[in-house]
A and B are shown apart, each in its own frame.
Chain A
Amino acid sequence: MMRRFSSHRLFWPFAALVLLLAVNAVFNPGFWQLQWRDGHLYGSVIDILNRAAPLALVAIGMTLVIATRGIDISVGAVVAISAAVAALMIGGELVVKDGVQTHVTRYPMSVAILTALVVAALCGLWNGLLVAKVGMQPIIATLILMVAGRGIAQLLTGGQIITVYYAPFFFLGNGFLLGLPFAVFIAAVVWATVHLLLTRTALGLFIQSIGINPAASRVAGVRERLIIVCVYVFCGVAAGVAGLVISSNVKSADGNNAGVLMELDAILAVTLGGTALTGGRFSLAGSVLGALIIQTLTSTIYSIGVPPEVNMVVKAAVVFAVMLLQSPEFRSAVRGLVVRPVPGAAR
């Protein structure tokens, strides 16, 4: 029975998450406490879920890109661009009209959000065309937008932090629905949509087949270039949604710092979730687990009072340990040290 659990591909990421949560509970007795206030749930766990949502969104997009043998290191910049576009178009101010306080936006919020997502999709399209049509290596192709996109975001914000004064926009990153943070619902809906696409259409088969053997997929009639372009577009949109959630959460857009190094966290989340960077077989749920591990780890480091100057080192050490746990070679090597091999049972 135990063997069946431990052979599941998500066992080790799941174990790592449980372990991290247990460490939290030991250092912080109030960790699991949930409070019901004003119709909302409050607590450390809820907080982690809320903060992990943007990273989970980006990691979902990244998973599909990595499954096609690609990588997208421009997602952090796309987060910043999307946040800047939304913040600029909404802006907003509090106007007192006839003695009533009303929020006024520069453009309607729906238009602003739609524009931000369209811009994010265009970013993805650019990446996808460079990879699939021009034939550039994905890391180089997306490096262009990683650098240039950050510049575009800074240009849009004029190097300043743009504050948003329009309360309805704050709901994306701070609102609650059915007692849970709204951002969690956004991530869940995106995950569910992608999951359905992968299991109810041929998308999953095509993406895996392209990731494992692009030449054979092409010969078999899979339109591999089109699918690769679409995957990058989706990755851009996912990063765009994450940018909206983040800027809503902090009620502003910061072209310099929004989404910085997020591409690396997203790649890390995908890897922690058991998807190999060489493409092919992938796990969407694993990437979400990976995002939760990273956010839990960050929260843990703060809550157990690790000095800020060493927290990157602690993070690196934990990530290294989780990666080792996931490696069958490492596990069997360790097992060989502690368990006497059964004669004749060599595998």
Chain B
Amino acid sequence: MTPSVVLEARGLTRRFTGVLALSGVDFRLLAGEVHALMGQNGAGKSTLIKVLTGVYPADAGELRLNGAAIHPESAADAQRLGISTVYQEVNLCPNLSVAENVFAGRYPRLGASGLWRIDWARMERDARALLARLNLDIDVSRLLSSYPVAVQQMVAIARALSVDAKVLILDEPTSSLDEHEVARLFDVLRQLRGEGMAILFVTHFLAQTYAIADRITVLRNGERVGEYLPAELPRAALITAMVGRELSAAAGRNVHTQETAGADVLEARGIGRRGQLSPLDVTLRRGEVVGVGGLLGSGRTELARLLFGLDRIDSGELVMDGVPVRFDAPSQAIRHGLAMCPEERKHDGIVAELSVRENIALALQARMGLWNFLTPARQQAIAERFVRMLGIKTADLETPVALLSGGNQQKVVLARWLATEPRLMILDEPTRGIDVAAKQEIMNEILGLAREGLAVLFISSEMDEVVRVADRIVVLRDRRKVGELPGDSSEQAVYHLIASDA
């Protein structure tokens, strides 16, 4: 018996202000399968899901559910048709009980006309029955917020099932779960699959895809690359399909020598944090650029946050100059000579309404403390030096930093850290969202500093950049370290390591 096609899309196209987010995408979802949707950021995964669930109308193309054309106009409309979605961030009400969350908006009522008061007993009984289907036995009258995220995720799935769903769409359901919880979620998905449910599963974790998926569709730049069976698609081929580059052609080309690598600056021994990063070792040395290779969600930013004290490590230890150190807050890491350009420049980097001068002086002042005041004149001298050194384009030093372009804002953040004369600089996507010229300038600056003895941890989602500048590459996958490669490795070698079975 061949499984029937439940949901079918043909030639879906969707434009956002002239940009093609989806371009003639074909897609099919069969009954009783878990179908993984893969692709890099901006590949069109979210857009496809939103078109399937009626959040966005398609500009062109057609959707068929069990052979009949459908035109869902909203998520609620799609849900009535039997397409339920569980989003990445659990969007339930933490201040309502589990049972209320499962039936929110559809409370069972007493009386034939459904006008009498809410039938609480029936609601709790039904909620318990639904959760039992997911092997979850909890007190459904307790507040949702009293349960861990994994349970909340199950409740969200129960809510999706409670409407007689034929299609269940899970948008990165595992991003905040630990291994044990993921295993439990997969048990539930296998069970639902056995009951004939069609499940669409979006994830960045390669291992999870191979563990659960019956079929894989890969998107890239809004187009469908292909539909594959996992057994016929080795990991390397999957990555090639997602990244879309002829990997062998992109040769690594180091622009500086490795002889500069000196004494250890920071040694991380088995550091990790439950649910964020499995314990790993990293050593950062004087004058060495260590690149972090890995796909989105592989644990790159988590590693940076743990090293810098933004999140607390719950296993392992950090050693500097042979002495164990502990960073409970960035201020402690900074006192030990660490610096970090964060990934989210607007949220964690610049202080928008403060001037260029104040932004550059901030970290140095924070390290010198409250009483050891850098007078405005000294702040100005420091700021002037770095504005000239990094070529920051600003009307003057008193201009609010928010008025600068993205690249110049990033240089201001870089200047802020250089002013503290750090021993170790962590750069998390330092070149994201800035133009090519500024990108090149920032990269050159970083390499120059490394030659002068700075230890650098370089994180970037652009693998060619990592391969080009790094002396050594730490490769991460699914929030664990899978190995290290020398700096002159090719991009392909990094992807091979990511794809290999650890």
Contact = CB atoms under 8 A, between A and B. Distances in A.
Interface stretch (A80-88, A135-143, A205-213, A300-308): A205-213
A154 to B, nearest CB: 33
A75 to B, nearest CB: 24
Contacts, number: 80
Q: How large is the interface on A (under 10, 10 to 19, 20 to 34, 35 or more residues)?
A: 20 to 34
B198 interface: no
Interface string B241-258: 000000000000000000
Contacts of B354: 205, 208-209, 212
B416 A215 contact: no
B259 to A, nearest CB: 33
Contacts of B370: 201-203, 206
Contact of B367 (A201, A215, A219, A221): A221
B417 to A, nearest CB: 9
Q: Which of B348, B351, B371 has the most CB of A within 10 A?
A: B351
B353 A223 contact: no
A216 B348 contact: yes
Contacts of A201: 370-371, 373
A218 B366 CA distance: 10
Interface residues of B, number: 33
B374 A202 contact: yes
Interface in A42-79: none
Interface in B305-332: 308, 310, 329-331
A281 B362 contact: no
Contact of B348 (A200, A208, A215, A281): A215
Contacts of A280: 353
Contacts of B350: 213, 216
Given A219-B348, A222-B366, A223-B331, A209 B358 contact: yes
Contacts of B371: 201-202
A303 to B, nearest CB: 41
A217 B310 CA distance: 12
B361 A216 contact: no
Contacts of A209: 351, 354, 358, 362
Nearest to A197: B370
B330 A205 contact: no
A333 interface: no
A205 B348 contact: no
B334 interface: yes
B94 to A, nearest CB: 15
Interface of B: 308, 310, 329-331, 333-335, 340, 342, 347-354, 358, 361-363, 365-374, 416
Interface of A: 200-203, 205-206, 208-209, 212-213, 215-223, 280-281
23 contacts: A200-B373, A202-B368, A205-B365, A208-B354, A209-B362, A213-B347, A213-B352, A216-B342, A216-B348, A216-B349, A216-B350, A218-B330, A219-B308, A219-B342, A219-B349, A220-B362, A220-B366, A220-B416, A221-B331, A221-B335, A222-B366, A223-B329, A281-B353
